[in-house]
Structure 1
């Protein structure tokens, strides 16, 4: 469990985990927490630049990129951000 995630965000993540497909929601919540841990700053300070660097550095397969994008999009909404986070560039063309 990430120590950078505050109580309010923790509640939102836990609520998200309890609805819908349990396995998928738990996996998405885990991706949110891994992303926040990777950023190493409070979620409120996470910005578009963090997302760009995360995807550039990790170079995930396209399906994993997609899954992380959806998780980061969920985090964006939980934080009350407008719009959506930057989409990952496809590092696996073909």
Structure 2
């Protein structure tokens, strides 16, 4: 992944998140968060609600996979210090 899209601090926070708790699940969540950032093609700090909507519209994902990506984006939202929650995928 292009490191310029992911700040050193955010990269470190994602690594710390993956290192604790259920390793397999957390690693998968971090991978999904990184894929989402790569999809947006902009620094993570510039990602907003619009990019979340675009991501879910452009990817035909099963409901379970949508849920998993939503949790990964919600993690990213928390790590970036955003208020509230990211938008949920539309049904």
Q: TM-score, structure 2 length as denominator?
A: 0.96
Aligned-pair RMSD on alpha carbons? 0.7
Q: Which has the higher helix share?
A: 2
Asked whether the equivalents of residues 31 and 68 of structure 1 are also in contact (C-alpha less than 8 Å), the reply is: yes
Aligned partner of 1:49 in structure 2 is: 50
Aligned partner of 1:72 in structure 2 is: 73
Aligned partner of 1:34 in structure 2 is: 35
Asked whether the equivalents of residues 39 and 50 of structure 1 are also in contact (C-alpha less than 8 Å), the reply is: yes
**Change in CA separation of 1:74 and 1:42 when aligned onto 2, cut-off 3 Å:** same
Q: Structure 2: how far apart are the matches of 1:37 and 1:54?
A: 11
Aligned partner of 2:10 in structure 1 is: 9
Shift of 1:2: 3.8
Give 5+ residue unaligned stretches, structure 2: none
Q: Moved runs in structure 1, 4+ residues, more than 4 A?
A: none
Q: TM-score, structure 1 length as denominator?
A: 0.93
Shift of 1:59: 1.8
